[in-house]
Structure 1
Amino acid sequence: MTNLTLVLGDIADQRADALVNAANSWLLGGAGVDGAIHARAGRALTNACRELRESRYGRGLATGQSVATTAGRLHALWVIHTVGPHWDRHDDRSSLLASCYRTALEVAAELGARTVALPAISTGIHRWPLDDGARIAVRTVRETLASWETTGRQGVKAGARTIEEVRFVLLNQQAYAAFETAMAALDE
């Protein structure tokens, strides 16, 4: 069974097999989590992202999808980039936000990651309401992991290891409290 935890801190400081980056579709760094990860990882990450842009993602990575690169100078083996949706009160994009978490975990499992660190995707500059974003994140991660345990799918490729820990890394106390509330609500 996978351990689901909350940590207050900066995702770029985490030690994990895979760090999930709330990336922009161009994969070349930006603000928030994306900027922090690119700044800390250095040139190796930037070069890997450029290679992806030139080879497979010339038009950018689609919202809700995920792809992995090297982690550069980070304390991780991989960075899994996922593009979160912008919140829009008139257009329900929750399935795209859920897809970010689901596809990031799928990529992590395919890589054989045992530990995965996730940020609060889309709750910063994309303006997703924090409580709703936390609810979607926790529910999606739990449902994804539970479905893998039920079907025995977690090692999705031959020899892949099981994800042992998924860690939500939350930058401030407000985000931590929202995720803590979301986890408690699902435990009831």
Structure 2
Amino acid sequence: MSKNNGTLLIDVPQGGASITTIKLTPKLPKAGKAQVWTMDDVTTEKVEKFSNVVVAFDENSLPDQVRYERAILVVHLSEKAQKQKGYWSFAFDGLQYVPSKEDDLHNIETQVSRDGQVLTLTIHNFGLNSEDVDFSFLAMYRDNQSGECSIYASADPGIRVGRPPGP
């Protein structure tokens, strides 16, 4: 796993899997403008910020290996976000795809768990192709005082999934 120019590169080992833990800090809009939701790779002790992800699958994998290769991204809502005057949780499936940049190859599965605090993305690539997917994280914010709930979307991070990933 490496990072360059705000992009987290995940190399899926031939016939194997890679698990990456991400901390997402959602932010309420200020003065009518959306704020950047920060993503941090916390898989290692060295925390690194990034805005896009590239998942690289080995182009020399055998068919039986391809069936089981996957990248798993475990996205936790940060504790910092929960110290606001309300409560954040992932909403719906946790993602909303950008039209014409959605998951056409259907290689990204999502699951929300732990009372909406964790979003797990399981990414496969069953062919010799690459795909760019743009999306927004979807999260609900419940104000502690009023009980009012609102759904917010992040800025659009992107994931490039490929075998090979391409430029």
Report TM bin, short chain: 0.3 to 0.5
The structure number with the bigger radius of gyration is 2
Q: TM-score, with normalisation over the residues of structure 1?
A: 0.30
Structure ranking higher on relative contact order (CA contacts 8 Å, 6+ apart): 1
Q: TM-score, with normalisation over the residues of structure 2?
A: 0.32
Larger relative strand fraction: 2
